[in-house]
Amino acid sequence: MTTSDLVNSLPALWLAVLATFCLAGAALAAALIRSRKSSPSHSVAEPPPDTMRTLLREFEKNGHSADAALVKWSPDTLRKILATELPDAQVIVVSNREPYIHNIKNDEVELVVPASGLVSALEPITRACAGTWIAYGGGSADRLTVDEHDRVAVPPDDPSYMLRRVWLSEAEHAGYYLGFANEGLWPLCHIAFTRPNFRASDWETYESVNRKFADAVVAEARNERPIVLVQDYHFALLPRMLREQLPEAIIITFWHIPWPNSEVFSICPWRERILDGLLGSSIIGFHTQFHCNNFIESVDRFLETRIEREDAAISYQGQTSLVHAYPISIEWPPAQLGKVPTVAQCRDRVRTKLGIADGVKLCVGVERLDYTKGIVDRFRALGELFDRHPEWIGKVTFLQIAAPSRGTLPDYERLHRECERCAEEINQRYGRDGYTPVLFVAEHHTREQVYEIYRAADVCMVTSLHDGMNLVAKEFVAVRDDEQGVLILSMFAGASKELLEALIVNPFDAATMGETMRHALTMSFAEQRDRMRRMREIVRDNNVYRWAGSMLLDAARLRKRAEVELAGPGDPMETNNVVSLPERWRAMT
């Protein structure tokens, strides 16, 4: 059976697959064999039986249907899923950050694509689904570019979906976004040792802004049953508000950052309200199973619920929410790659621009300027490399680009100063005429410039102290079609669970990271190729269309189950795979 056959027969296939463990096993084996066939550098031997059992268990545990592993995921696959599994469904994305910002610059309207992992992932999905994206209109020219309904068709050069902008006052933005979301929830959810600040006034604004977005979703919904994709920690209350107004909607909430353990979560004064809000969702998604487990533990500790761990389902106030891991990714191949010159040209351009001498290796870091990303820690690792292996002084330059982010918050201003100070210290200590070890550029770059830098790099360092996924790691791999370059990756980024061929590091251990840099800088071309090839296969197969497709397939499963339940009560014990979970438990107890 070919891939396109598979896609065409999705409805029957995936129900059957979900129903039979055996078929899932066969499919997984086929996927393994296929991935091995496409990797000439790897042996085609079967994995040992215990590895296979572990993989199968993982597969089942994560609720991923076997067809998700077999299908070649593309925009077309998504469109087919929508057409066959969710006919006539309207897809509405809600996020704080908009995918396209219009700003006034030098009396002209300038278009900016923000530095945001969420935008990088969601934009190609919304394009493929021809959906509606609702977001805060924060650009200085945003109001000038919308129609009378606050909508603008995007992408501007080839419109395929509608962006609906929601306006916030300065006070709303300060309380909901800077305050509760970024001074409260962001540090609460990341182990980066930055204290969360919770203020009652921020919470009230957060609640009222969530209400404002709920009203916008209801206004944009063409019928009672849209599929609403709620994005991130800015909207923890939105799912409950939507559930009250659109009871038949499928609400999929994706939390892009880690979820803390229940002890840490208990710090939040409105912890029960946050959990209650999220449990208005049909599905709550996280990047890793670990974050799902933390969430379920928090619910267990603070709310009266029924938790079915086998099904990863939480029943609360007569409604069931599924909690699943969906590792986010990027589009494959990245659309902008076509606009970027060859690797050799990128190397020449970047090295000439930065004045990097022949024989000097280039290490890069690409981030939003955020204290969770471990920027200072990688500078420290470079210092360790120089101290332990002085022969590298003068032989490696570190380029760190950092897009300014949340710059008005004190913790971010402090970080900016700290990065500058640390870079300066290293430059004074190890620099010499014509050689600057660290180039710290705290500016926003275009996506093409970012890709050019990835392609010019010998080594890319992603050393987050804590990160939901981290898409920089996946982008670096995706743009290296020359199969060269080394990725150093933090063990505390979700991406480290997938990109096992990266050099995995603990960012809190500068000395060992310095040694890892040396390993990366001296790695043979053959080893670089083997590692890069394998990582590219993983990002290709687990691309962002698979991320969205898996959620939509699960959404379709829920919708069908709800339809079967509505069609008639039947005997709960006889129809046990379609009966609602609360009913099943009632029948069993």
Q: Does 164 bind ligand GDG (CB under 6 A)?
A: no
CB of 369 to ligand GDG, least distance (A): 9
Dist CA 431 CA 265 (whole Å)? 44
| Contact call for residues 326 and 254 (beta carbons, < 8 A) | yes
Q: Does 560 bind ligand GDG (CB under 6 A)?
A: no
CB atoms < 10 A from the CB of 104, how many?
13
Candidates 77, 90, 95, 116: give the one binding ligand GDG (CB under 6 A).
Answer: 116
Candidates 70, 356, 453, 471: give the one binding ligand GDG (CB under 6 A).
Answer: 471
Q: Which of 259, 306, 309, 249 is nearest to 283 (CA)?
A: 249
Cis, peptide link before residue 327, omega less than 30° from 0? no
Toward ligand GDG, which CB reaches closer, 237 or 403?
403
Tell me the per-residue interface mask from 384 to 413 with ligand GDG, x by CB under 6 A, - otherwise: -----------------x-x----------
Candidates 183, 207, 377, 475: give the one binding ligand GDG (CB under 6 A).
Answer: 475
Dist CA 455 CA 458 (whole Å)? 8
Q: Does 257 bind ligand GDG (CB under 6 A)?
A: yes
Helices (H), 325-480: 343-354, 375-388, 410-430, 447-456, 471-479
CB of 291 to ligand GDG, least distance (A): 11
Strand arrangement of the beta sheet that strand 91-94 belongs to: 151-154, 161-166, 132-136, 91-94, 227-231, 250-254, 283-286, 319-325, 313-316, 306-308
Q: Does 366 bind ligand GDG (CB under 6 A)?
A: yes
Candidates 256, 324, 533, 534: give the one binding ligand GDG (CB under 6 A).
Answer: 256
Candidates 212, 447, 518, 529: give the one binding ligand GDG (CB under 6 A).
Answer: 447
Burial-class residue 22 by CB neighbours within 10 Å (0-12, 13-18, 19+).
Answer: exposed
Question: DSSP character for 567?
Answer: H
Count of residues of this chain found to bind ligand GDG when the rule CB under 6 A is applied: 27
The two structure tokens encoding residue 117: 């992992």
Candidates 163, 472, 479, 539: give the one binding ligand GDG (CB under 6 A).
Answer: 472
Footprint on residues 71-100 left by ligand GDG (CB under 6 A): none
Q: Does 470 bind ligand GDG (CB under 6 A)?
A: yes
Stretch of 23-31, 468-476, 513-521, 579-587 contacting ligand GDG, by CB under 6 A: 468-476
CB of 189 to ligand GDG, least distance (A): 9
Residues with Cβ < 8 Å from 560, sequence gap 6 or more? none
Stretch of 193-201, 439-447, 498-506, 545-553 contacting ligand GDG, by CB under 6 A: 439-447
Dist CA 222 CA 401 (whole Å)? 42
CB of 256 to ligand GDG, least distance (A): 4
Candidates 115, 214, 343, 579: give the one binding ligand GDG (CB under 6 A).
Answer: 115
Q: Does 365 bind ligand GDG (CB under 6 A)?
A: no
Per the document, the length of the chain is 589
Candidates 31, 328, 478, 502: give the one binding ligand GDG (CB under 6 A).
Answer: 328
Stretch of 152-160, 302-310, 466-474, 579-587 contacting ligand GDG, by CB under 6 A: 466-474
Q: Which of 257, 223, 220 is nearest to 93 (CA)?
A: 220
CB of 465 to ligand GDG, least distance (A): 11
Residues with Cβ < 8 Å from 468, sequence gap 6 or more? 117, 255, 256, 257, 258, 286, 287, 291, 328, 494
Residue carrying structure tokens 């995921």: 73
Q: Which of 497, 455, 494, 469 is nearest to 364 (CA)?
A: 455
Candidates 214, 241, 356, 469: give the one binding ligand GDG (CB under 6 A).
Answer: 469
CB of 116 to ligand GDG, least distance (A): 5
Q: Could you list the residues that contact ligand GDG (CB under 6 A)?
A: 113, 115-118, 120-121, 256-257, 328, 366-368, 401, 403, 444-447, 450, 467-472, 475
